[in-house]
Structure 1
């Protein structure tokens, strides 16, 4: 499905912020520029109609949930809004999907993963939802992130002042290649896994402790109540203040300065947050289930990227809504573990999804096709891998699953 709007990346996504160094951090407000393109309610509705989904939950959403529509009557909304979001209705009354058709017709017969086939990992580690972790495990996880933040850089990225920022720099440099294409879910699966390896190999996060994920659907509309944003863990998540975020002033990340971003630039600024509940309540089980009902990878990826993924980022404030440098807020990795868990759930619906894939390797029309031997890079952070190595989370290279 084609979208009229494109994801904003690099310097165009976020205005440079000029943060006075002598401002009391408790009062320092940071402007928010939404960087991640979000799927309008209209698009969700039309796709659900096409997929024959049960529309009861969608159509009974409160009026405030219907973002980017502004028309109460659903039928009028469909007729008036189609051209706005760039959708085309064919004679059969369905939304066309030229990109998916082209990819599937060009890719031909799927190849098998072979040596990395499902089941080759005999004892996968289980990623555990944050609330299901023991307090000592949660604290150890946060301490390992602080360790990485305090570790000296290794010369991978000149603008980085520490090892953690080298990780952020990689995402900043790769941003245009790993969004708005089939690479999105695959590359972020790899990137999140590398983060976990760095915590264990460079900062002593115990191998017996699980890597956490955050079930954001349980906190839809109130991310601040998740239990992550406390002085013991990731620090406060205040509500927006006059439409702006606030510098984090408590917890292990209080007073942390960022030097990668915003956008494609590199500027000293604070780690800041501010919840927009109109956006975070869109990260619902209904939306996740709608995306996971899609029959093709391309459809599911697009729904996920512009749906729960984008709403989660934009709903957390200035740093997380900066497309390029969003990993500068460490909660990024729990958010992307949530996105990966949803991908894992979608794959679990059919055995072929662990071994076959039809996707674009980069944005574009026509686009390059992503195959099982397409290289996945982290720009020297860790060795490159191929798609076939990480398509199956429970294969030999990744070897993990989720607790539910």
Structure 2
């Protein structure tokens, strides 16, 4: 089986767990087992329909599955190949017209601009999970087709490094990382998140705050935003985010946020304790008024800084795509536990917390990423990682 063929890679994943002092070691093992179980479920589904698939001309088989792996299991050469491709995407001209987003200067910015424009319709909505699956896939395809990347989209397993993310191979600042923390800024207050009339959520600041000074993205310029960036004193900057506003990439990596909201126990509980997709995606994003930001917010605010803290502009942070790889993995794992009933499960409306009120999301709704690419596609085609345009799995 493919899972057995990838045993070595899985052992590398488990070895990286030594970097965390997470006391929830049993939950970490349980999470690893759930991921393996989801992989086995997917293989069994492909095996069961293998003969019929040949007759119908379906392309996805166990033999041609793309395997997405955690960053820590990649070799140094594989990590550098990925960051080189991201830098390549940042060097290519934008496809987004200046009339739509005058600040979009690169192919990378096309993805950021699309996310800015569509944020009110893709968070706390029925399309949240599928939209980001399609968005991540098209980013992966751009890296491959436009920048010659030969690998797959890696992901960031937040649980592995929950108590010390800055020391992980993702953020250690080496040439084979996604760059390090931002320059230390002292005397930062907590991050204060506000949402309508709900009570504010206070998050512990991280150990950086300034410009990133090490690793592949130390010279990166963020061109778009901010739109809604919470600052450590609770004030909010607002704007369209589409104008040209070049600035350094900043980070404020927070172990406090990671260990509180995106540890192994929180991920396992999310997967096992939410039986319908409405509860699952709401808890994942953080139930408003509960005081929790969920694992989705946990990942974003662990990175911190500008633009990671800005819900609109967050894809301007290169680790966004590793973070949403993990979001997609968690959804894939949740679906596999009851695939028959969860494959096509959708819940929600077309607007942020149904404000303003909008129709319920259906499988016939259209997702269109605009100039980021991919073309219009129905929700129905995005519900399985081995149907529609997809043929990938996670380990």
Q: Could you tell me whether the CA contact under 8 Å between 1:239 and 1:275 is conserved in 2?
A: no
Verify: 1:132 aligned to 2:76, yes or no.
Answer: no
| Counterpart among 274, 280, 301 of residue 314 in structure 1 | 301
**Structure 1 residues 239, 335: CA separation in 2 closer, same or farther (over 3 Å shift)?**
farther
**Structure 1 residues 279, 359: CA separation in 2 closer, same or farther (over 3 Å shift)?**
same
CA distance in 2, matches of 1:380, 1:161: 13
- 1:339-378 matched pairs, under 5 angstroms: 339-351=327-339, 352-363=341-352, 364=354, 366-378=357-369
Larger Rg: 1
Q: Could you tell me whether the CA contact under 8 Å between 2:258 and 2:298 is conserved in 1?
A: yes
Q: Which moved more, 1:122-131 or 1:240-249?
A: 240-249
The structure, 1 or 2, with the larger RCO (C-alpha pairs under 8 Å, 6+ apart) is 1
- 1:28-107 matched pairs, under 5 angstroms: none
Alignment length (residue pairs): 286
**TM-score, normalization by structure 1:** 0.67
Verify: 1:294 aligned to 2:274, yes or no.
Answer: yes
- CA shift at 1:239, angstroms? 7.8
SS at match of 1:401: strand
CA RMSD between the two structures: 2.0
Verify: 1:281 aligned to 2:259, yes or no.
Answer: yes
Q: Could you tell me whether the CA contact under 8 Å between 1:393 and 1:401 is conserved in 2?
A: yes
Runs of 5+ consecutive residues of structure 1 not aligned to the other structure: 1-56, 58-114
| Counterpart among 345, 358, 379 of residue 387 in structure 1 | 379
- CA shift at 1:285, angstroms? 1.3
**TM-score, normalization by structure 2:** 0.69
Verify: 1:217 aligned to 2:205, yes or no.
Answer: no
CA distance in 2, matches of 1:163, 1:126: 25
Q: Could you tell me whether the CA contact under 8 Å between 2:96 and 2:371 is conserved in 1?
A: no
Runs of 5+ consecutive residues of structure 2 not aligned to the other structure: 1-23, 25-52, 189-207, 228-239, 287-293
Q: Could you tell me whether the CA contact under 8 Å between 1:309 and 1:339 is conserved in 2?
A: yes
C-alpha offsets along residues 280-321 of structure 1, whole Å, 9 cap, x if unaligned? 112111111221120110100011112011021112122211
Structure 1 segments of 4 or more deviating over 6 A? Answer: none
- CA shift at 1:238, angstroms? 4.6
CA distance in 2, matches of 1:246, 1:217: 25
| Counterpart among 237, 241, 259 of residue 223 in structure 2 | 259
- CA shift at 1:358, angstroms? 3.4
Greater share of residues in helix: 2
